[in-house]
Each structure stands twice: as structure tokens, then as C-alpha cells.
Amino acid sequence: MKTIDELLEEGVEGKRVFVRADLNVPLDGTTITDDGRIRAVVPTVKALADAGARVVVASHLGRPKGAPDPAFSLAPAAARLGELLGAEVAFATDTVGESATATVAGLGDGQVAVIENLRFNAGETSKDDAERGAFADQLAALADLYVGDGFGAVHRKHASVFDLPARLPHYAGHLIATEVGVLKKLTEDVQRPYAVVLGGSKVSDKLGVIDHLLEKADRILVGGGMVFTFLKAQGHEVGSSLLQEDQIPVVQEYLKRAEASGVEFVLPVDVVVAPAFPDMKTKAPTNPETVAADAMPAGQMGLDIGPATSELYASKLADAATVFWNGPMGVFEHPDYAEGTRAVAQALVDSPAFTVVGGGDSAAAVRTLGFDENAFGHISTGGGASLEYLEGKTLPGLAALEG
């Protein structure tokens, strides 16, 4: 895989460089609530602009239905990128139409433009190779070179991720090069003990990575909504907590495999419960109660790991040499149910281990709860992509850059 460092050595002055970024940031209306993914691509964009390239930044945002939708416009992200770069960033109001063509044509050396949401064109996500390829042809007309730096999208076989690199000389940006280097430390030359913390809502989202990590990790700690399927699999009452009944046999098999292979599988000893899911708009105080994990009342919903579990998990992470964390321990967005996630984040901060926060809600939680990002070894920008890499899958976007 050629990198941006090699491209910069070759020289980019006056060249149009298409940067496939990941600007898929959370929005409240037009207000960005977490700009982490935009900040992550700044080093690549700045390096190219400083070297005299004419930089064309492209990304998806949300899941529009293959047609323009103002709710998913990249305009706020383009404005924020300009603020972070300290330079004006032009914005094209379409992807490959008149605005994009004119905006790119108007770039001078060292200038940057963002084109509108790639998913406003049905060709971006089409499963039809010809339709996807036709859109990639139109995107290729906007540039001379391609730099892939949207790690959060490399597990998608989309036009701008998979097909476009085949049409232009292609390189990996700083972010993708860093992400791949980090993930290799989690899969190839792992320093032990290797502890994995998995949370989030659905156990089905993590089945593949659990299956793979049972051969790699020394211990796996589970929290979040997904933990109640594990507790149910052990025969415990889980009340009205999130539960995937159909996954219970799979989870039981994983617990047996872990015991047989000597992998320590750690589940909560207590949980924080409430009668109902909290109001996430007002964040009004609720009446949380801490109960033993094997004694949940039938009418209660589990919303966080309890304080004893937080201490247990911190102790299980204290001697680790490598830690990978993906998924919050509870409904961290509400102050009544944030302490479990805060405790895991603090344990990673306190640990001398190589610590990786695996993107998605985990990365958002770190920032929301006020932790210094530099206190972690690495905060990934790609939750789904990171998990699929750890599952051992071939990621289309990385394969395209290696081709």
C-alpha cells in the first residue's frame, strides 16, 4: 500500500487530489455535536494543501436514499473543516454536477474544496457494479490522484471507496496508515496480557469479533445492552432489558469455548436498573437502583454496569499490556448511567498498556465525558471497520488501496 508520504515525495503541486474522507459526524440540526472525524482527516488535507495540491474532499454523511436531502448536507462539515484548517474551504452543492465541476475547476494550488454528500448519488452505494462504476468514472474526472483516508468507510464496497482507486493512482492517507498500523498491533504482534472490552446495544453486532477474539484475547469483558443476552444465557432474570433471544444459543457456545480455551470471560456482578429508559431529550434525573446481576427485578431495565463491576473491570485491565475497547458500558449520554463507561475509560487512562478505543460510540463517549484523547494509545475513527478487521475480514477499501 503506497502512502501519502510517498506521494508527497513525488510532488503534488498543481495536481487535483481526491481525498475520500470520513466526515460522517453526528448533527443536531446543522450543529455538529462531535467533530472528531473531521479533525482526524486534517493532517492529510493540510499536508496536501501545504504541498500545493488542489484538494477535493469527499465523504458520505448519514443514510440518504440516493438523492439529495438537506438534512444530510455536508455543508456544516465543510465549514468546520475550514475552521480547523484556518483557511477558506469551497463547497460544491452537488457531487459530480455543474457545481462540483466548477468548484474544482476554480481551485488554485493549495486550496481545498468539499463536494456534497456522496450518497446523494445512488451510484455510490449501488450493488450493481456497472452503476457504481459509472459514478466512479464521474468522480475520477474531478481529480488526477486519489488518497483514501476515510477509515470508517473502508469496509464498504462503495464507488468512492472501492471503484475509484482503480481509476486513479492511489495512496493511503495518514489516518488510514495509522489505523492499519494500530490494528496490526491488535492482531499480529500482540503484547500480552491482551484484554478486550466490548459493549454497545446488540450482541449480534459483535458476534464475529467475539468469535475471532476467542482465539486471540486473554480476557474479554462485556457490558452495555449486549450483556443481558449473556446473563440470560446463564439463566438469570434480565427484566425488561435489551435482549436478543435468538442469540442465546450462540452466546452459550461462546461461553463454553472461552472456558475450554482458557479465555477469561468477565460479566457484570451488578447492574444499574430503572423502571424505564430515561428521557434522552431532557436528561431529567431518574431513580436508578443498583442490583446484583443475578438478581434483577422482573420489571426493571438494565442501563449500566454497577460500581462493583466497574471496580472489577478496572482490576482486570490494570495488568494488561494491550487493551481494545469497543462499545459503551451503559447509556452514557444520560448522567445517571454514565459511570460504568467513565470507569472503563479511566481504567484505560490509568493503564500503562497500549490502549485502543475502537471508534463509534466509544470514541464519542470519551469526548462526551471529558477525557483527554491524548491519554489513550489510539482512538479509532471506524467502529464497524475496526471490528471487521479484527474479525479477519477483507476490507474492500483497503484491498483497493493495496491493488
Q: pLDDT per residue over 126-164, tens digit each?
A: 999 999 999 999 999 999 999 999 999 999 999 999 999
Is 37 a known active-site residue? yes
Among the listed residues 202, 257, 367, 393, the single catalytic one is 202
Strands in 267-367 per DSSP E = 270-274, 289-292, 301-305, 322-326, 354-357
pLDDT at 360 > cutoff 80: no
Grid cell 515525495 — which residue?
A: 9
Q: pLDDT digit string (tens) for 277-319?
A: 999 999 999 999 999 999 999 999 999 999 999 999 999 999 9
Q: pLDDT digit string (tens) for 73-128?
A: 999 999 999 999 999 999 999 999 999 999 999 999 999 999 999 999 999 999 99
CA angle 105, 168, 165 (to 5 degrees): 115
> Which amino acid appears at position 317 of this protein?
L
> Which amino acid appears at position 3 of this protein?
T
pLDDT at 359 > cutoff 80: no
Binding residues: 22-24, 37, 60-63, 119, 156, 206, 302, 333, 359-362
Identify the band that residue 364 occupies on the pLDDT scale cut at 50, 70 and 90.
confident
The answer to whether domain 4-174 and domain 182-391 are alike in fold is yes
Binding residues for ATP: 206, 302, 333, 359-362
CA 110/CA 358 separation, integer angstroms: 33
Q: Considering the domain 182-391 in this protein, what is its CATH number?
A: 3.40.50.1260
Q: Residue 178 has what pLDDT? A: 94
Is 66 a known active-site residue? no
Is 384 a known active-site residue? yes
pLDDT at 22 > cutoff 90: yes
CA 40/CA 42 separation, integer angstroms: 6
Over residues 374-393, mean pLDDT: 89
Fold of 4-174: Rossmann fold (3.40.50)
pLDDT at 49 > cutoff 80: yes
User: Domain extents for the chain?
Assistant: 4-174, 182-391
Nearest alpha-carbon partner for 40 in 379, 388, 345: 379
pTM above 0.85, yes or no: yes
